[in-house]
């Protein structure tokens, strides 16, 4: 999988609206020559590939962690409010015009929104809440955030703000710079780091919370850790890319049989898988004829939803 | 006496809302001993077991393990010493039997540490011991109720704990497997460990347990060797049953009259 990921990452550098001699460009960059192709490589292609890689890995990893923690195959990284919170934060920034005047405002708003939405879910559900209560609190906060976004769109001062908010919500990594990448990096890495050591505890949860407790897992601490990690990582990634659906939900499903359904081992594999899927999707949107730009978030949802249906049908056959 | 006990509960109470589940209940467990918790449904047996494992904290009173309060012991260290066998277990993912049993090694591994060959050998030996070697690759959710119960016992044994706390471990099992499981628990005691087991079958309780503790409405009605606990008055009070035992002692009426004829 790592090799495939590497290949896709390189391939991602080769595709674009215009073919450029990538190797020549790389040489130019190495020689610090300011040619146009070198600029395209470092300012357009490279950030795009890096962001797809990191955002995809984050979504896959966080999806696997959430599904393991809640022991629910329908859990997605957005379940505890991080994605919709980030969207609300970003929408507020776009609505108020702050995003246009201050380049840090959009991602900062996204991360702040993700963290506060997650915190709200946690406070609503209570410290030692069961899984069902947590999911319900997540659904409530998600719909609150979405309705507030609708309100913002409704009250938007100009059609321009509406367009900005809607386009952002479609999810895209087309027009990001390296600055955007550096902006999302600390949050995502911190989130990854928090999740990295939690694999074994997620394994212990396979037989339920009581059983995990008797295996020495402090459930409350684990939950805090996963929630904080998902809010940080998804919040940072989503504030740069916009809403990208279904990667976090579908990737763990696809790969679970590969690791014998062990939630711990699924983490790394899902991170790789998420990155692969998003790189693929982002390459695919570039293959459409120039002029008809499809947002990558739209594509992942378009492919993800029917695919998810197929997975449900398959698992139903397995159960009966 | 208290100093010698491996595990002790000292006047523990458990209240949920305004309902009292356990009131000022004490218990002692010594090395090499199998203690049977018996009593009618709702007497508080499972709740007591969950307090002994640290899943629930008591509303008052305290549990000590080797003389130290349970709440002060590090989670993982506690998990290495107390193996818990839940009443029913569901796996949320279709992981294999072998991997379920291997979960028992988690308390022995650090967050970043891989299972060692020694861990894998313990898992393999536990599978063999519990007669599950042939099922090792089967997904856990596809097993029958009885097979699942044995896998969960194997999971608890793989921890290699000093003490096993088992909540109705034979409820789903056929006659032969009931005996097999009780003998495995007995072996745990004979190897220097100890067991607290919740049982509904009084014949198994009388046959395998060194001492019985009879609970009724969250309190201890009687505790001691089976002969002193199983008497007409206690059975009448706890279960509202009268046992017909004309011509033989009451304990004989609960004698186990079957043995395993060979390996199943």
Å between B262 CA and nearest CA of chain A: 32
Chain A residues touching residue B107 (CB < 8 angstroms): 215-216
Q: What is the enclosing helix (H) or strand (E) of B195?
A: strand B194-198
A·B CB contacts under 8 A = 82
**pLDDT of the residue at A301:** 86
Residue A293 has pLDDT above 80, yes or no: no
**pLDDT of the residue at A271:** 94
Per-residue pLDDT band at B48 (split at 50, 70, 90)? very high
For the ranges A158-162, B130-134, B160-164, B246-250, which has the lowest average pLDDT? Answer: B246-250
Chain A residues touching residue B50 (CB < 8 angstroms): 210
Å between A39 CA and nearest CA of chain B: 42
Per-residue pLDDT band at B69 (split at 50, 70, 90)? very high
How do the domains of chain A map onto residue ranges?
2-319
**pLDDT of the residue at B64:** 92
> What are the tokens at A172?
């895209």
Helices (H), chain B: 45-53, 75-81, 97-102, 117-129, 145-158, 175-190, 202-208, 226-229, 232-239, 250-253
B229-244 pLDDT per residue, tens: 888 888 888 888 888 8
**pLDDT of the residue at B1:** 43
**pLDDT of the residue at B262:** 63
Chain A residues touching residue B91 (CB < 8 angstroms): 206-207
Transcribe A258-305 into DSSP letters.
GGTT-HHHHHHHHHHHHHHHHHHHHHHHHHSPTT----HHHHHHHHHH
Contact yes or no for B106 and A262 at CB 8 A: no
Whether A198 contacts chain B with CB within 8 A = yes
Query: Is B120 in contact with A206 (CB distance < 8 Å)?
Result: no
> What are the tokens at A117?
């939405």
For the ranges A5-19, A56-70, A170-184, which has the lowest average pLDDT? Answer: A5-19
Q: Give the CATH number of domain B2-89+162-253; options: 3.20.20.70, 3.10.105.10, 3.40.50.300, 3.40.50.11810.
A: 3.40.50.300
Q: Angle A46-70/A178-196 helices, nearest 10 degrees?
A: 30
Chain B residues touching residue A262 (CB < 8 angstroms): 93, 95, 99
Residue B33 has pLDDT above 60, yes or no: yes
Chain B residues touching residue A213 (CB < 8 angstroms): 53-55
Interface ipTM: 0.85
Whether A261 contacts chain B with CB within 8 A = yes
Whether A256 contacts chain B with CB within 8 A = yes
Residue B181 has pLDDT above 80, yes or no: yes
Q: Give the CATH number of domain A2-319; options: 2.60.40.3500, 3.30.479.30, 1.10.3470.10, 3.40.50.970.
A: 1.10.3470.10
Three-class secondary structure assignment of B140-194? HHHCCHHHHHHHHHHHHHHCCCCEEEEECCCCCCCHHHHHHHHHHHHHHHHCCCE
Q: Buried b vs exposed e over A75-107: b needs ≥16 C-beta within 10 Å?
A: bbbbbbbbbbbbbbbbbbbbbeeebeeeeebbb
> What are the tokens at B189?
């005691």
């Amino acid at each position: 999988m790592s090799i495939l990921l590497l290949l896709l990452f390189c391939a991602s550098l080769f595709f674009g609206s215009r073919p450029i001699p990538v190797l020549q460009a790389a040489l130019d960059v190495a020689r610090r020559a300011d040619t146009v192709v070198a600029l395209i490589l470092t300012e357009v292609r490279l950030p795009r590939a890096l962001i797809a890689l990191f955002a995809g890995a984050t979504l896959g990893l966080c999806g696997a962690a959430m599904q393991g923690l809640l022991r629910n195959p329908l859990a997605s990284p957005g379940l505890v409010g991080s994605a919709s919170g980030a969207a609300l934060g970003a929408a507020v920034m776009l609505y108020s015009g702050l995003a246009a005047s201050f380049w840090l405002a959009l991602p900062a708003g996204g991360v702040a929104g993700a963290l506060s939405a997650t915190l709200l879910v946690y406070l609503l559900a209570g410290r030692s809440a069961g899984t069902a209560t947590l999911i319900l609190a997540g659904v409530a906060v998600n719909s609150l955030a979405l309705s507030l976004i609708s309100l913002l769109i409704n009250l938007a001062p100009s059609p321009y703000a509406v367009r900005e908010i809607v386009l952002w919500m479609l999810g895209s990594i087309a027009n990001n710079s390296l600055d955007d990448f550096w902006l999302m990096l600390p949050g995502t890495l911190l989130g990854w780091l928090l999740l990295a050591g939690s694999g074994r505890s997620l394994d212990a949860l396979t037989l339920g919370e009581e059983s995990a407790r008797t295996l020495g897992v402090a459930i409350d601490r684990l939950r805090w850790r996963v929630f904080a990690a998902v809010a940080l990582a998804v919040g940072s990634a989503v504030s740069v890319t916009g809403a990208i659906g279904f990667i976090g939900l579908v990737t763990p499903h696809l790969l679970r049989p590969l690791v014998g359904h062990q939630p711990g081992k699924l983490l790394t594999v899902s991170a790789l898988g998420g990155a692969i899927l998003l790189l693929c999707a982002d390459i695919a949107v570039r293959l459409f004829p120039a002029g008809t730009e499809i947002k990558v978030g739209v594509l992942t949802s378009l492919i993800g939803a029917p695919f998810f249906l197929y997975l449900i049908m398959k698992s139903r056959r397995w159960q009966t | 006496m208290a100093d010698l006990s491996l595990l002790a509960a000292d006047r523990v109470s458990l209240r949920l809302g305004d309902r009292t589940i356990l009131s000022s209940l004490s218990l002692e467990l010594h090395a090499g001993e199998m203690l049977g918790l018996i009593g009618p449904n709702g007497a508080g047996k499972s709740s007591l077991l969950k307090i002994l494992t640290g899943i629930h904290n008591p509303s008052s009173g305290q549990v000590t393990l080797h003389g130290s309060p349970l709440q002060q012991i590090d989670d993982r260290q506690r998990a290495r010493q107390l193996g818990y066998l839940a009443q029913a277990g569901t796996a949320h993912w279709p992981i294999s039997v072998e991997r379920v049993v291997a979960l028992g090694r988690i308390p022995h591994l650090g967050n970043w540490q891989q299972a060692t060959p020694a861990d894998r050998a313990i898992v393999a030996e536990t599978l063999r011991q519990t007669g599950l070697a042939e099922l090792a690759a089967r997904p856990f959710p596809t097993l029958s109720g009885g097979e699942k119960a044995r896998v969960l016992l194997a999971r608890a044994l793989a921890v290699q704990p000093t003490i096993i706390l088992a909540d109705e471990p034979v409820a789903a099992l056929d006659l032969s497997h009931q005996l097999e499981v009780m003998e495995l628990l007995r072996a745990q005691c004979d190897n220097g460990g100890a067991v607290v087991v919740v049982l509904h079958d009084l014949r198994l309780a009388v046959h395998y347990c060194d001492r019985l503790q009879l609970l009724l409405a969250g309190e201890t009605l009687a505790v001691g060797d089976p002969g002193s606990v199983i008497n007409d008055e206690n059975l009448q009070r706890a279960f509202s049953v009268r046992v017909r035992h004309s011509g033989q002692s009451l304990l004989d009426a609960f004698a186990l009259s079957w043995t395993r004829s060979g390996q199943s």
